[in-house]
Amino acid sequence: MEEEKTNSWKKIKNLLKILVSIVIIYFLIRNIGLEKIWLALKSTNLWILSLVLPIKLVSLLLNGVNITLFLQAIGKKIKFWKVVVWSNLAWSIGLFFPGRVGEFSIIYFLKSENVEFGESTAVALLDKMTTFFVLSILSIIGVFYYFNLTSALWLAGVLIIMMGANVAIFLNNRLRWWVKEYLLRKYARLFKGFNDSFRKI
């Protein structure tokens, strides 16, 4: 009986992957047009493409490493290749949503490995914060290179304040209580384990 349930769940997951792929292709064709996609592919510089693909592959692998390490920090051991596939799927879904919120769909994928909603939310959120931190450093370097030291220092100050404020919000007991009581309310139980996971990571 248990084996039948496992096989059924695998079939459902495979079907969902196919459906997601079809939806992505559909939106590409509908919003861009088949002719424009073909013209873009024809005019693509293969030399540049040969450089972009390895860089993107490394980026996806590093993202997988990041999430795997966060999961290990909360005692969850999931095969690395699975995490890479899921993070890649989440990234693809994120392309079709404002603010790339679709990338949080990795929470759904982690659920299949018995990672609780609160734990996976902490992992996904900290992964985005890490990405923001890295991009901030690159942005500061870029501003310093193209503009001047003063502009770079101003940007660094703003980004440090933003990061500090975010961390303070998540670690402040009073603010967490306010969010739990007035915003989440009856849904607060879904986020059980979020605080402990956030602190551990």
The gap from C-alpha 178 to its chain's centroid, in whole angstroms, comes to 26
Contact 121, 60 (CB under 8 A): no
Average pLDDT over residues 1-27: 66
CA distances from 22 to 28, 35, 90, 134, 149 (A): 10, 18, 15, 33, 48
73-89 burial: b if 16+ Cβ within 10 Å, else e: ebebebeeeebbebbbb
DSSP 97: S
Helix/strand number for the chain, H first, E second? 9, 0
Predicted confidence (pLDDT) per residue in 45-82, tens digit? 667 667 777 877 888 888 888 888 998 888 888 888 88
pTM of the model: 0.64
**166: closest CA among 133, 190, 138?**
133
- The first and second tokens of residue 40, run together, are 């873009």
- The pLDDT score that the predictor gives to residue 139 is 85
Which positions ≥6 away from 163 have C-beta within 8 Å? 129, 132, 133, 136
What letter represents residue 23's amino acid?
V
**E strand spans, 28-133:** none
- The pLDDT score that the predictor gives to residue 103 is 77
